[in-house]
Amino acid sequence: MALHRRHWLALGATGLLAGCGFQLRRPPEMPFKRIALAGFAPRSPLAEDFRRTLTGTVQVVEAASQAEVVLVALLDAREKGVVASTSAVQVREVQLRLKFRFRAETPAGRVLLPPTELMLTRDMSYNETQALAKEQEEAQLYREMQADVVTQVLRRLSALKP
């Protein structure tokens, strides 16, 4: 009896979510079918994120001549700077920065999106006694910033009119 009641409650909750317009977040709809990624470093984590996110909605092709839109990476840089330190010159807080400058163009070279720069920053406390854990936290923060960059670029690309 309790199992039957839980089933009806779960079904009712699902109905309420569907009725309010709730949907899982999806990549934006693109006005083109094929895209080429150019200017990225070999094995670039950012390029891999773009490929993974676009799979299923847009075909990522290797040759720019086969694409409708070419996403050109002009700058893909990670920076780390000290924000705060103690009087004994021990680092207490660092700032992580991810810069991505890009443009979108047609294979013929017509500019669809002029050079645009995105810069994300995250502050992170630092403790030398927890260096390994802080390294992992730094990697996680960079992955999150990278996902944010991909989302922002895809939003801009979805507004293009190739």
Residue 106 phi, psi (nearest 5): -85, 165
Q: What is the pLDDT of residue 46?
A: 94
Q: What is the pLDDT of residue 6?
A: 67
Q: What is the pLDDT of residue 23?
A: 65
Q: What is the pLDDT of residue 139?
A: 94
Long-range Cβ pairs for the range 141-145 (8 Å, 24+): 141/96, 142/78, 142/96, 142/98, 143/45, 145/96, 145/98, 145/120
Site of tokens 């854990």: 133
Q: Are 157 and 71 in contact (CB under 8 A)?
A: yes
In the chain, which residues have pLDDT < 70? 1-27
109: left (phi over 0), alpha (psi -120 to 50) or beta: left
Q: What is the pLDDT of residue 136?
A: 94
Q: What is the pLDDT of residue 3?
A: 57
Q: Which domains does the chain have, with CATH numbers?
A: 2-158 (3.30.160.150)
Q: What is the pLDDT of residue 125?
A: 92
